[in-house]
Amino acid sequence: MQFIKNLFGGSSEPKEEKILPWQALTTTANLDTIDKKSVAKTQLIFKHSTRCGISKMVLNQFVTSYNLDLSADLYYLDLLNYRALSDEIGYRYQVLHESPQLLIIRNGVAVAHASHGAINDLHLEKYV
């Protein structure tokens, strides 16, 4: 029985959850701050739909694989509560809205972006 439990993830060891240093993205003033800070440091915006299973799966994969040693600031946008802000991000950075979506901002410009499973294919190290 233990073999079957181990095979299907029934480990009795508690899994340590990785916590990322997210900053909530809630106002257009936050975007002005991101633009200013992006001159010296890479800024990452993760747009997430809290009701979408795919978005949740991609977010979990991103968190699991994210390298905490990267020199970048992480912003989290809850699309359902801040849809107008999501639209502003699209206008400002000239990126078509998708969800989930990750934008990489340098010098006030989106230098890369991806959505859905392609988020985890981005090599963030290239941009920091």
**pLDDT averages per 10-residue partition of the chain, 128 residues:** 47 68 97 98 96 95 93 96 96 94 98 95 92
Q: What is the model's pLDDT at position 18? A: 83
- Return d(Cα 33, Cα 17) in angstroms, integer: 29
Q: Which residue ranges make up each domain of the chain?
A: 21-127
Angle (CA) 83 24 88, round 5°: 35
Tell me the pTM: 0.86
Residues in Cβ contact with 103 at an 8 Å cutoff, skipping those fewer than 6 apart: 44, 45, 47, 89, 93, 95, 110, 112, 113
Domain spanning 21-127, CATH architecture? 3-Layer(aba) Sandwich (3.40)
